[in-house]
Structure 1
Amino acid sequence: MIITITAFKLPQPIAAEEARRIYLSTAPTYQGVPGLLRKHYVLSEDGVTAGGVYLWNSRAEAEALYTEAWHAFVADKYGVEPTVIFFDSPVTVDNMAQQIVADEL
């Protein structure tokens, strides 16, 4: 599995209520994305940095999302270009499902 973390420093800080409104407006675009297992929207406590933590089935599926069009969408929505960092995630502990999931070797 792959985890990506996206982050962008906002031109102006936003409150949690505003972030929630924005996030809910974009959340449906991530439903049904091939290979995307989970997305967590994030906002720093000071409201200056926003982004997301994504859990993917594979790197190829993750890379398929982060196109020039996606970068333009984020830049248009938040007024700043996002960064994307990729991490391998060989083991995931899912306490909600009460399971441990490991990549196959």
Structure 2
Amino acid sequence: MITEIVTFDLPEGMSREEVLAKYEATLPRWRANPDLIRKTYLYDPAGNRGGGIYLWPSVEAAKAAHDADWCRLAEETYGSAPRFDYFETPLIVENVVEAD
């Protein structure tokens, strides 16, 4: 497995509500991707950045999902080109507590 971290600069003045609305609009696309194991959305208001952390079976799957068309759409949506980092993910700890 690999972890892909995608970050991008947000337009000056974009509110948290606007960012979350844009994120929510992408939920169906990511839920429909059979290769995606997990996605965590990122928002940094102090640094005016957004992004996501993705868990994929391979770098190839990540790059297929974030192809040139996706990069163009992200740049149009958020006002800057996305940046990508990839990490091997040898272990995962899940500290999920089930409600009674």
Common topology (TM > 0.5): yes
TM-score, with structure 2 as normaliser: 0.87
How many residues are treated as equivalent by the alignment? Answer: 98
Q: What do the CA deviations read for 1:77-105 (whole angstroms, capped 9, x no partner)?
A: 1111100111110001112289xxxxxxx
**Percent of pairs with identical residues:** 34
Partner of 2:59: 59
Deviation larger for 75-84 or 6-15: 6-15
Structure 1 runs not aligned, ≥5 long:
99-105
2:24 maps to amino acid: L
Partner of 1:95: 95
Q: CA deviation at 1:22?
A: 1.2
Q: What do the CA deviations read for 1:4-55 (whole angstroms, capped 9, x no partner)?
A: 0011112314332222111111111111213211111111032610110111
Where 1:92 maps in the other structure, the secondary structure is coil
CA distance in 2, matches of 1:29, 1:83: 20
Q: Over aligned residues, Cα RMSD in angstroms?
A: 1.8
TM-score, with structure 1 as normaliser: 0.83
Q: Which has the higher relative contact order, 1 or 2, with Cα contacts under 8 A spaced 6 or more apart?
A: 2
Where 1:39 maps in the other structure, the secondary structure is strand
Contact 1:14 1:47 survives alignment (8 Å): no
Q: CA deviation at 1:61?
A: 1.1
